[in-house]
Structure 1
């Protein structure tokens, strides 16, 4: 279970359903209380804090920045006492803030965190690596298909249907989880060019562009 651990910035972004830049922003600007993040071994965020990050950005069209920060400050002492508690347990508690004419319920954001955590954990469990298979490249369990190749294909605009046809060993669920895994664990540096098709893949379209001749 990953519900009580600290997440890397990219993982926290996946769970909060925002960008890594958004996660860094709430930390750098002090929007997220300092107790919910750490700089040891790289920047990390408590899982429960992802609910506050999600709330801050998703409620931006309805609440002012001051109102959102006020709600986070209200929740801070309660979450500080339970920051290692699984979000599933937090859902059962009352997270309704009443202030003058304003009422804010943070519980829906904890529920979203639980759902996103389940996706992240499923993605982790789906991926494996071994020095004996493709030199340790992370692959989708039970195949020799690099997980980053699937995510890169989606990012390049290939449809799920195309990938299902090209990789018969996969299904829609595993393709979706490949995207989650790649977003939570982004590669560093430039991606290496693909020299050959991964095992289990089939060419479904081959478009060749003729080289233009230089005018005489």
Structure 2
């Protein structure tokens, strides 16, 4: 399977299950070589699948590779397509990578599947598929401290999977521009003691 996709730091963080700031630091430190790509009209750093695989592999092998060996491993990955072999050889090392490749492929498939759970309004705003509810609105509520159960109370048409999708999508594809409020109108009214207005 050829890997030609490029991944932003946020997408890589989703695959690696790490905070975006940790991934950005890895891109700053090297040896990974990010390139600038345009996403949503703005230039962002992105890495190829091989670089993403390297970041995953060095975390899995952190106790076995010295800093020098990591650099050699990176260069070896860029000389022969890793997906075409079971191991990577460099210096006196042979590293079995089949299980690591399979795991990164599984995780990048999860990222692709996430995109399938979202559809877009005419203005480009992502909506939870089959609803008219904005992905980033739900993610903002979770960021504001609401539990999944509280979100489901405020949006009874949504399922738990919808809410989890919103959270994951917003992490992998952060919202540009003005954020959504971190509390729902219903909870804001309750907090102000104006519950009766909500029923009016």
TM-score, reference length from structure 2: 0.72
Check 1:95–1:119 CA distance in 2 against 1; reply closer, same or farther (3 A cut): same
Partner of 1:177: 165
Alignment correspondent of 1:86: none
Query: Larger deviation: 145-154 or 15-24?
Result: 15-24
Aligned partner of 1:39 in structure 2 is 36
2:7 is paired with a residue of what secondary structure?
A: strand
Q: Where does the alignment leave 5 or more consecutive residues of structure 2 unmatched?
A: 39-43, 194-200
Separation (CA, whole Å) in 2 of partners of 1:172 and 1:3: 32
Which residue does the alignment assign to 2:21?
21
Aligned to 1:200: none
Q: Please state how far the C-alpha of 1:49 moved relative to its aligned partner.
A: 1.9
Where does residue 74 of structure 1 map in the other structure?
73
Distance 2:80 2:88 in 1: 17
Residues 22 and 77 of structure 1: CA distance in aligned 2, closer, same or farther (over 3 Å): same
Structure 1 position 121, deviation (Å): 1.0
Partner of 1:55: 57
The answer to whether the Cα contact below 8 Å between 1:165 and 1:204 also exists between their aligned partners in 2 is no
Tell me the number of residue pairs that the alignment of Structure 1 and Structure 2 aligns.
187
Greater strand proportion: 2
RMSD: 3.5
Measured after TM superposition, the shift of residue 209 of structure 1 is 4.9
- Conservation of the 8 A alpha-carbon contact between 2:3 and 2:49: yes
1:110 to 87, 91, 101: 101
Report the counterpart of residue 93 of structure 1 in structure 2: 85
Deviation, 1:7, is: 1.4
Following superposition, the deviation at residue 96 of structure 1 comes to 6.3
What are structure 1's unaligned runs of at least 5 residues? 84-89, 198-202, 211-216
- In the other structure, the counterpart of 1:87 is none
CA–CA distance in structure 2, aligned partners of residues 152 and 195 of structure 1: 8
